[in-house]
Chains A and B, each alone.
Chain A
Amino acid sequence: MDQLPPDLFGPYDEHTQPQVPIEHYGNTVTRNPRRAPFRRPVTRSEVTGPLDLTAKLRPGDINLAVVDGKPAQGQLIWVSGRILDEDGRGVSGAIVEMWQANAGGRYFNPLDQRDAPLDPNFIGNGRCQADAQGNYGFFTIKPGAYPVPNSNRWWRPPHIHFSILGPASLSRLVTQMYFPGEPLNVPDLLILSIADREAQQRLISRPVPTQQVEGEWLAFRHDMVVRGRHATPPL
């Protein structure tokens, strides 16, 4: 660690976080409590967390677009950014996990029984450890949209699921990244479950101008801010 982990954790601003239930998503009813959560003091077990997860959650899986030398179907993309705390400091060593559908909008997961083709060269999940400045990046393909079953034709826009384990139990984040300019972003019920419009927009990645990309792929930048501030702010 080249810096101390954050030591201040306020509650989330509710307007910037999803609210349940969500129409056409029954699990948001049956799996969320009726009773409001209890506000608790922040103690040592919430501000600490595991710092050496790499032996359990092994990183090094950043190229999803090639399996055994064979390229996956779809548009090759490089998704990168920084994991930041609320003071804008890079979260050194954060574990970043991601998973997504293939170019046809189907997950490799056996639970996805949709009638869309599987791509033998696309498994669709990766894990890396952010560097000392919080940088992460994955080569992958742009995921396809897919319809949500029994939902009156709600289609999920192309998205990548992210799971981030930071330096404290309270800096945990699970989110989804969307792509700029997708028509399906506008009516998406998961994006709309967040009331604040700016907070909705922060879920959408930024395109990198093609002239600035070093190779024959499209690139998207996506910084992800996890919770935590420092009692002593940066100069």
Chain B
Amino acid sequence: MQQMDRRWVYLMVGISVIIPFLLPMTLPVSITPEARMLYDFVEALPDSSTVMLVFDYYPSTIAECEPMTIAAMHHFFRKDCRVITLSNIPLGGPTMAEAVTRAIAEEYGKVYGVDFVNLGYKANYVAVLSGMGQSIESIFPTDNSGTPLSQLPLMHSVVNYEQIAFIFEVADNATADYWVSIVNAGYGVPMGCGTTAVSAPKYYAFVDAGQFVGLLGGMKGAAEYEQLINRQGDAMVGMGAQSLVHLLIIALVIIGNLGFFVGGIGKRRRIG
């Protein structure tokens, strides 16, 4: 068992991921209180509130993070919220924000500059987050495509965080810490967070402390939000494969441990 080529494990994992796409299986997804709290908070926002959706993730974690931004965008537009997107990630952040918002806005008949704006990216997130507390325009003089903010009707009524009702930070790195410490603690703006599974355990403490109104952890969190807004997306589709691979990994851990102990006992007997 211990001599097994690890590529067999890769093959088994690969097959377990592929099977649910060829033979679709719908497994129930239970809703965690953290996802429910996030949904309820957005649901309770007054219609036409101005919210921020932050694309702080790299393209490498699209599978986990993009379903969250897509689901959140649908929820915001259903509530007629005005959405400002931005990113602290240079590689792909603004482009992903553009792709997600434009596609969904078209579905809801939303107009760029009036109902949503993509501010794009600026370097040095600490300066960006602090500076927007004074004036968003001083940090982002133009939007992602170079249009001055003064020419965008949505931005006429938005000066700084005071006009922002809610910030939803979707991140695959530690930028969520800075949003909490600089923006939530410094300016009191309510925040929710969607994060990769790797980071999720750390951020549950932020929910308990009331610093986040709710939390989505990894693909499972995204699937929960998709279920809450009643719209099946990539996360719910991927959960079948996720469950199957988890079962495989549990089986491999058990078999591996059995092999280790049985092999060890055998060795000890031979030595004795």
A binds B: no
> Interface of A with B (CB < 8 Å)?
none
> Interface of B with A (CB < 8 Å)?
none
